[in-house]
Structure 1
């Protein structure tokens, strides 16, 4: 029976079956694959072949797989908490390969994750964390929070329960656990910072509709209040890490997560409330610490990233050869950090879109970045 099951899912994942043929039998194939993932024999090889088939179908029939993700994704993401490293690895590889299909998550998938979290996955995460598998736990947490998506905003109590996991890993003494926590925290950013929530909102302002002026409703103010509350939640551990002395690799991971937040905030970054909550605390924390041979590179990398986007926004005519040269220099600085970094960490470049249209009328942000520029060059060795 095991051999027959293996052969069946192998044929789906390996054989060059035509897309129309797969589409015609999609639902039957998917049910067979899901059965093979959770096969009653407990065969890891069968699970592996079935997960390969999932990735194959996601490549060929992305829309169908997205629509039915609440059926096939749960048996995949549940294995993130497996005690078997092979199961965890194949599960994460599948999620990475199907990321464009399942993210942002459709509502049916988010609801399935909620049902799984309450009785099963929350307990599982605490159990795995207690057994010392801290990196694996926070990595799984990052996926779960991403798969909740915007539905997380409707489950505040569940989110509060989930936040107990990173509360423990952020304060861990192991730099690898802290770095993994930063990466997973980007999942919370994805869940809480939604495109439909981008500031600025029309609060206490008039707007014209068919030539008539109308006063903005309280709905926008409530929405903005919730948005700022979510942003404050995201920023709390980042400010804490940047304000404390720790391994430079942890600071770099924190700055990278912060830049990801700036990238996701998009045009919201022009709002004075967001500037005070997101930009000012990190800049203040960075420059309050006396630079040493290690921290100066983390500082320079962060400032290079901000100033690169800011200066380009101020330039009407961009010399793309010069732009490529600047980016090359940034990568060069990143490589020079490597000797000082004790943990494995990879810097990712996230464009900060709001600087592309930023006008000189935004005095607060212009002053902040101009001040950074002056201080940066006075500290650079």
Structure 2
């Protein structure tokens, strides 16, 4: 009914809704550590391609309303004057897409010029951005890492895989995932896993069949092995090389992702096809987060016919806002910390296995709030009226 009503409004109102909205995408290059394999190079347009796809979607609808959307892009290195670039962008538009480390995003959010702006975090998954370090002018289309680990923990509970082991890497992102995984297991009543830190510097491309069984032998027996390797260093060498023949999950094997090429239901195949046709590759998680950010603005403008940040922010955080995100459920924002509620697909390289929240995990307000920080557990106060 809402779609039909919107179409009638488009036909009746036409150019009376005319709006011009500009969005600025700021990407700060994040150095990646050396890894054992370079089989999966990072696309140069990662994230940017998702924003461009959403811009095209916005303009496709906007042409019926007299609405036009523009996207400017600034790419920086950590050595550049990031805050100066952010000030320049804010002088042109109050709508920024931030693809940068969490500390950089916080510095931009704290600029005096950004206080009445609307910023979208499409890359940083650190939980503190949704809790103690939250900012009222920042929304998050990237999930927190705890949303992903909660999705995996729900799957373990459903399958009754409660005796677990975990291998984690030495990098900060690996430890962040491992820490979140421990919290998720406790949250859903699973005992602490047996653990080992992966600190090998040998070439696993030649030695995995010899080294991995020995490394995993003293983990004992378990239902599944969790791998925490966010930088994609060693995880690919773990499946089928473990001492115990057990499922592998985490950042390898069964993985919780924002988006993956194997997600095809709920109209996702059409989004995948449009993205691939335009950019010559599969849509990745950061692409989806950037797509959701730009589409959020497009949806809010269409519903409100406004183009100022305070009006759009208020609508986006209200109960009236919904985004059709091709994930089987309407996507909305948590009013207490600005996090986009969204299902988390659990996938392997060939298929979608499940989509969290899984059946049976109930919530008094919204089942999507079983993933990540719920309101009683968040220390964010920046969104309080």
User: TM-score, normalised to structure 1's length?
Assistant: 0.23
By relative contact order (CA 8 Å, sep 6+), the higher-ranking structure is: 2
User: TM-score, normalised to structure 2's length?
Assistant: 0.23
Looking at secondary structure, tell me which structure has more helix per residue: 1
Looking at secondary structure, tell me which structure has more strand per residue: 2
Structure (1 or 2) with the larger CA radius of gyration: 1
